[in-house]
Structure 1
Amino acid sequence: MAERRAEPSEEDVPGFELPMLLFAGFRSIIDELHRDLAGHGHVDVRPAYGYALQAVGRDGATASEIGRRLGVSKQAAGKTVEKLEGLGYVERVGDPRDGRRKLVRLTARGVDVLVRSAEGFDRLRARWVEVLGADRVRAMEADLRTMVPTGALRLDVPGWFDD
């Protein structure tokens, strides 16, 4: 069980602590998820790859589309696709709608890592519920939904950190 820290008074809390705590919570979830994925044979997958695999989507996408979805250049998306292809998570195939284009599609290995990620996130959330209580976790999620602008849940996190 996680150790609870003493809560400082409102006057003692510096403004920078909120984003740092939010980021630390995010990071702890992602790190634990990736340890779990490594235990299931996905030792080479990195957090940025998850965003890229989501950008590929169920129906596949071109490198340009992936770049737009991630907020990175077509060239940067192409490098990520090359890495994912080398690791067996995606494949490039001819686009059935336009023979001049290549479509990036998830392989069975790519689907597996996304399914295991979803299951892992569910387990991690359940652990937070176990430690903090269902009402507190639901309230935290509701509060974050209130504070996060509509449409802010985007895949371009890797591109945002690079700016």
Structure 2
Amino acid sequence: MADAPGFTLPLLLFAGFRTLIDDLHAELARQGYPDVRPAYGFAMQAIGRRGVSASELGKRLGVSKQAAGKTVDRLESLGYAERADDPEDARRKLVRLTPRGVDALARSAAIFDDLRTRWVRELGAGRVRALEADLRAVVGETGFGLDVAGWFAG
């Protein structure tokens, strides 16, 4: 088989990513989380279990503090996050995940495990492990950031 044009590699990688994300969100909707969007998942990951300030969230997502604030507003209105006083700095607010937000992330992790298992059934365990190892070799030790939304917009 002849080598494909170079532009097909990023398109195939993105299509694989998109397939996984679309399948994740379809299953999340079936499990009672129909309002979670990919950008919210990245934001909830960036918030993490300890919480962050809005400006730190913006840095992690690669967006402005204002854009991060809008995302937090939406996550708050959906019940996934809340703003709370920072116990270490009374002048600052922290963004924290609510129990619903933590549950959405836990379900996402379990669904991703199921999706990986589906790929293993389709491609074989050795090929999936080799694909993961090859991608790790290409992207390096830092892996990936959560700044996808900011990266695409920037």
TM (norm. structure 2) is 0.97
Q: Look up the match of 2:28.
A: 37
Mapping of residues 77-116 of structure 1, within 5 Å = 77-116=68-107
Q: Look up the match of 2:147.
A: 156
Q: Look up the match of 1:46.
A: 37
CA contact (8 A) 2:81 2:96 kept: yes
Give distance in 2, aligned partners of 1:21 and 1:29.
12
Helix, strand or coil: the match of 1:43? Answer: coil
Give the Å deviation of 1:149.
3.3
Listed as ranges, the gaps of 5+ residues in structure 1 are 1-8
Matched, 1:67 2:23: no
CA RMSD of aligned residues (A): 0.8
User: C-alpha offsets along residues 81-115 of structure 1, whole Å, 9 cap, x if unaligned?
Assistant: 00000000001111100111111110010001000
Give distance in 1, aligned partners of 2:2 and 2:54.
48
Percent of residue pairs identical: 66
Which of the numbers 7, 10, 34 marks the counterpart of 2:2? 10
Give the Å deviation of 1:14.
1.0
Give the count of matched residue pairs. 154
Give distance in 2, aligned partners of 1:162 and 1:150.
25
TM (norm. structure 1) is 0.92
Give distance in 2, aligned partners of 1:31 and 1:155.
18
Q: Larger radius of gyration, structure 1 or 2?
A: 1
Give distance in 2, aligned partners of 1:34 and 1:60.
24
Listed as ranges, the gaps of 5+ residues in structure 2 are none
